């Protein structure tokens, strides 16, 4: 399109000419992006931790008293291994268990050897995906000879709940802030339009198309979005490092290195900013495009 360079120049110039309102728009949009980014990073890390816990997590499957060692190894073990979501299944005999108890709790259990041992035989089972815990446990319970299963899902459950909470709260916050950003940006563009209403009325009187009148303002919104995206990307890189150091001080975790996320985060921030910026601008423009001459100038 002819004159597109002129339109871009006008849009960019307008960000500077209207700098107070631009700064306010950028401030709100950066806050919105930071909260979105933080929620996303927390969620990604929680998922990574859940995955890690899943890998390490073992459950103990206790067998009924009538299942002896040979039956357990030859029949029950292979049946458990055949089920879905099982990565390992190791036999844990009642003799090993009582020795462990004695080591931990002292000679009180010294009498409970051989025939007197009240503990059942068991298996240590590791799952592939801990989020399928309930289904897997139900399947294991269906195996003949299985009595009870130790409930060690609490950690995973808490982490999964935390992830869900972070995602939900994050989504609401992002939605609320996106609406606020839209409002602020549309107001910023509306102020620019108001201050340039004289030019708009002249533009229309000399035959500028609505597309031509609209473009600089949409570009202004997009520029505000891009600037916000870039600023938020830089801030979140520093925040992430600081946050991870603080968390690691309390709980040792294997965090996702920011270098693995930086490209997607930056592109995502800029795109989000551009969409919010352009939409905010488009919201304000309609009013002036439907006006003519003196009406635009409020006469």
Partner 1 sequence: MIQFKNVSKVYPNGTRALNKVNISIEKGEFVFIVGASGAGKSTFLKLIMKEEQPSSGTIFINGINTTEMKRRKVPYLRRTMGIVFQDFRLIDKMTVFDNVAFAMRVIGARPRAVKKRVHYILGLVGLKDKAKSRPAELSGGEQQRVSLARALVNNPTLIIADEPTGNIDPEMSFEIIELLNEINKQGTTIIVVTHEHELVQKFKNRVIEIQDGEVISDTGAATEKADVPIEISEDALAQIPEEIAEEIPDVSSEELNKEALQAIVDGEAAEE
Quote the least distance from Cβ 285 to partner 1, whole Å.
14
**Of 64 and 195, which has the nearer Cβ to partner 1?**
195
Residues 5-64 that bind partner 1 (CB under 8 A): 6
Q: In the structure encoding, which two tokens stand for residue 122, read together?
A: 């068991």
**Of 209 and 264, which has the nearer Cβ to partner 1?**
209
Quote the least distance from Cβ 294 to partner 1, whole Å.
8
**Of 1 and 246, which has the nearer Cβ to partner 1?**
1
Stretches 49-57, 93-101, 200-208, 243-251: which one binds partner 1 (CB under 8 A)? Answer: 200-208
- By CB under 8 A, residue 3 contacts partner 1: yes
- By CB under 8 A, residue 205 contacts partner 1: yes
Phi/psi at 89 (5° precision)? -150, 105
Residues 207-226 that bind partner 1 (CB under 8 A): 207-212
Stretches 50-58, 92-100, 169-177, 193-201: which one binds partner 1 (CB under 8 A)? Answer: 193-201
3-state secondary structure of 231: helix
**Of 5 and 110, which has the nearer Cβ to partner 1?**
5
Stretches 30-38, 70-78, 137-145, 202-210: which one binds partner 1 (CB under 8 A)? Answer: 202-210
The CA distance from 179 to 29, in Å, is: 10
**Of 13 and 47, which has the nearer Cβ to partner 1?**
13
The CA distance from 32 to 228, in Å, is: 10
| Binding residue (CB under 8 A) for partner 1 from 44, 112, 203, 239 | 203
**Of 171 and 202, which has the nearer Cβ to partner 1?**
202
Stretches 123-131, 203-211, 257-265, 269-277: which one binds partner 1 (CB under 8 A)? Answer: 203-211
Quote the least distance from Cβ 8 to partner 1, whole Å.
13
Quote the least distance from Cβ 18 to partner 1, whole Å.
14
- By CB under 8 A, residue 142 contacts partner 1: no
3-class secondary structure for the chain?
A: CCCHHHHHHHHHHHHHHCHHHHHHHHHHHHHHHHHHHHHHHHHHHHHHHHHHHHHHCEEEEEECCCCCHHHHHHHHHHHHHHCCCEEEEEEECHHHHHHHHHHHHCHHHCCCCHHHCCCCCEEEEEECCHHHHHHHHHHHHCCCCEEEECCCCHHHHHHHHHHHHHHHHHHHHHHHHHHHHHHHHHHHHHHHHHHCHHHHHHHHHCCCCHHHHHHHHHHHHHHHHHHHHHHHHHHHHHHHHHHHHHHHHHCCCCCCCHHHHHHHHHHHHHHHHHHHHHHHHHHHHHHHHCCCHHHHCCC
The CA distance from 8 to 53, in Å, is: 52
- By CB under 8 A, residue 106 contacts partner 1: no
- By CB under 8 A, residue 293 contacts partner 1: yes
Q: Which helix (H) or strand (E) holds 275?
A: helix 258-289
Quote the least distance from Cβ 181 to partner 1, whole Å.
29
Q: In the structure encoding, which two tokens stand for residue 54, read together?
A: 């899943």
**Of 208 and 243, which has the nearer Cβ to partner 1?**
208
- By CB under 8 A, residue 131 contacts partner 1: no
State the residues that interact with partner 1 by CB under 8 A: 1-3, 6, 198-199, 201-212, 292-293
């Amino acid at each position: 399109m002819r004159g597109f360079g002129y339109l871009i120049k006008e849009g960019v110039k307008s960000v500077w000419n209207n700098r107070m309102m631009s700064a306010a728009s950028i401030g709100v949009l950066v806050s919105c992006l930071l909260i979105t980014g933080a929620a996303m990073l927390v969620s990604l890390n929680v998922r990574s931790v859940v995955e890690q816990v899943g890998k390490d997590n073992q459950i103990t499957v206790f067998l009924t008293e009538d299942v002896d060692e040979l039956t357990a190894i030859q029949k029950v073990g292979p049946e458990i291994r055949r089920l879905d979501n099982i990565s390992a299944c190791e036999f844990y005999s009642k003799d090993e268990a009582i020795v462990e108890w004695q080591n931990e709790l002292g000679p009180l259990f010294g009498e409970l050897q051989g025939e007197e041992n009240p503990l059942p035989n068991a298996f240590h089972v590791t799952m592939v995906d801990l989020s399928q815990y309930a289904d897997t446990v139900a399947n294991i319970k269906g195996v003949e000879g299985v009595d009870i299963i130790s409930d060690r899902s609490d950690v995973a459950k808490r982490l999964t709940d935390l992830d869900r909470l972070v995602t939900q709260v994050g989504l609401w916050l992002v939605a609320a802030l996106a609406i606020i950003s839209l409002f602020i940006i549309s107001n910023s563009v509306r102020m620019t339009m108001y201050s340039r209403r004289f030019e708009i009325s002249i533009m229309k009187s000399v035959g500028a198309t609505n597309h031509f009148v609209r473009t600089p303002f949409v570009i202004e919104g997009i520029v505000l979005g891009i600037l916000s995206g870039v600023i938020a990307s830089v801030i979140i890189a520093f925040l992430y490092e600081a946050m991870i150091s603080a968390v690691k001080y309390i709980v040792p975790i294997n965090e996702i290195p920011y270098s693995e996320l930086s490209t997607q985060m930056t592109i995502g921030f800029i795109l989000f900013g551009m969409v919010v910026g352009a939409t905010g601008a488009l919201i304000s423009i309609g009013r002036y495009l439907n006006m003519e001459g003196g009406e635009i100038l409020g006469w």
